[in-house]
Amino acid sequence: MAKPGNGAVKDTEQDSRAMGLNVGWTVFSYLIGGMVAYGAIGWLIGKAVHVSILFPIGMLVGLAISLGFVIYRYGRQESMERNDR
Amino acid sequence: MIGEASTVASGAGGCHIFNGCGFPAPGLQNFDYKPLFSVGSFHFTKPMLIAVLCVLAVLVFFWAAFSRPKLVPRGVQNVGEMAILAVRDQILRPALGRRGDGYLPFLVSLFFFIFLMNLMELIPLFQFPSMSRIGFVWPLVFMVYFLYLFLGFKHQGAWGYFRNMIPPGVPAPVLLILIPVEVARFFIVQPFTLGVRLFANMFAGHLLLTIFMVATWYLMSFSAGLLYAAGSAFMVLFVFLLELLVDLLQAFIFTTLTATYIASSLEAAH
């Protein structure tokens, strides 16, 4: 029979695995989401003003925004947790 | 897979290397099936038959295991309990904790249905993963997403649910910039990746198995080609074992993400 201590460690490992999987895919979704959203906005504006370069620019801007947000949200959270230890 | 590969190869007229014919490369045609029967404009195909059989298999298995449960489990009930506990301890509890035990029947059904559907690519006669047709994946994604939204609205309120998506303390101008990203992530990218991940893995696995199967057939000849055929046959075995792992892993990932979505709907994640 497993010791209670081992069970707790196992639970924590499983918790962090589920959390890691979720955070990983959320970060990926943010990066693609930023490109999709601002790419679409850039494309729409570009279509209206006949400047096709706005589409790739929008995608890059979206990527930069989501990258900044991911660092703000998850990077900060991780560093705060590290300080707590 | 074996039957399908043979069909492709025999369709090429017993085509082998050095016979002057090209490699009958498998492709999208391997994912199209002629209807088994038709009712008006509705065509019932092999992937649909596999899906129906998988639903029945999950239903019959758990009904057989728990229709007359004994205090000391035996036989099918023993296996059924192990299956349920595996989903509870590896998927549900890590994401939802004890408060999520009410969602166990849903997650168990979802996991075993997807796992069985994936596993069908390795079972002779069936040898096709229905999840490699994206039409079978979207209903699952819509169902999960509908539940995700419904639980979020129910527990946090419609306004509170969307407000909680953005972490607190974000300045108003930044919030304005973030809204399009958040909308695209939540309504487009997240459901898209949930569905496409499962579909693409099954599609690629089936194609890989078919390619090596057909290659084994094509390279078979009384010459040096036989060595290549042996190499290809080894790859069939390797991909077969790899797919066994992928089938399980994809069912696990889909169900784990569903559990984490439910968890984030039950309370705001910051």
Is A46 inside a domain boundary?
yes
Closest residue in A to B197 (Cα–Cα): A25
Return mean pLDDT, chain B. Answer: 87
Q: Let me know if residue A24 belongs to a domain.
A: no
Handedness of CA A63, A68, A71, A74 (dihedral sign): negative
Q: What is the pLDDT of residue A1?
A: 38
In a domain, A17, yes or no: no
The answer to whether A65 contacts B185, with C-beta atoms less than 8 Å apart, is no
Angle at B170 between CA B169 and CA B176, to 5 degrees: 150
**Do the beta carbons of residue A33 and residue B189 sit within 8 Å?**
yes
- Binned at pLDDT 50, 70 and 90, residue A17 comes out as low
First-to-last C-alpha distance (Å) of chain A: 31
Q: Is A82 a member of any domain?
A: no
Domain count, chain A: 1
Q: How far apart are CA B162 and CA B182, in angstroms?
A: 9
Q: Over range B14-32, report the average pLDDT.
A: 80
**In terms of pLDDT, which residue wins out, B174 or A60?**
A60
Chain A residues in contact with chain B using a Cβ-Cβ cutoff of 8 Å: 11, 14-15, 17-19, 21-22, 25-26, 28-30, 32-34, 36-38, 40-41, 62, 65-66, 69, 73
> pLDDT digits over B117-152, tens only?
999 999 999 999 999 999 999 999 999 999 999 999
- Inter-chain CB proximity B253 and A33 less than 8 Å: no
Q: How far apart, in Å, are the Cα atoms of B4 and each of A70, B21, B118?
A: 46, 20, 17
Cβ-count burial B27-43 (b if 16+ within 10 Å, e if not): eeebbebeeeeeeeeee
**A46 vs A65: CA distance, rounded Å:** 19
pLDDT in tens, B29-55: 888 889 999 999 999 999 999 999 999
Give the pLDDT band (50/70/90) at residue B226: confident
Query: How distant is the Cα of B219 from the closest Cα of chain A, in angstroms?
Result: 41
Q: How many CB atoms lie within 10 A of CB B218?
A: 25
| One-character DSSP codes across B210-267 | HHHHHHHHHH-SSSTHHHHHHHHHHHHHHHHHHHHHHHHHHHHHHHHHHHHHHHHHHS
Residues of chain A with Cβ-Cβ distance to B188 below 8 Å are: 33, 36
Is A4 within a domain?
no
For residue A19, being part of any structural domain is answered with no
A21 and B183 in contact by Cβ < 8 A?
no
Taking CB atoms and an 8 Å limit, are B189 and A36 in contact across chains?
Answer: yes
What span, in angstroms and rounded, lies between the C-alpha atoms of B11 and B27? 14
Residue A45 forms part of a structural domain? yes
**Residue B120, pLDDT score:** 94
Shortest CB distance from A18 goes to which of B94, B178, B183? Answer: B94
Range of the domain at A34: 29-76
At residue B5 the predicted structure's pLDDT band, cuts being 50, 70 and 90, is: very low
Q: pLDDT confidence of B193, banded at 50, 70, 90? A: very high
Q: Would you say B111 and B257 are in contact if contact means Cβ atoms under 8 Å apart? A: no
The reply to whether A51 falls in a domain is yes
State the pTM of this model.
Answer: 0.82
B148 touches B161 (CB < 8 A): no
Q: Does the beta-carbon distance from B181 to A19 stay under 8 Å? A: no
Report the DSSP beta bridge partners of residue B39.
B42
pLDDT of residue B208: 94
Where does chain B have alpha helices with state H?
2-11, 46-66, 75-87, 93-96, 104-119, 134-156, 158-163, 172-184, 190-219, 225-266
Q: Is 0.95 exceeded by the ipTM?
A: no
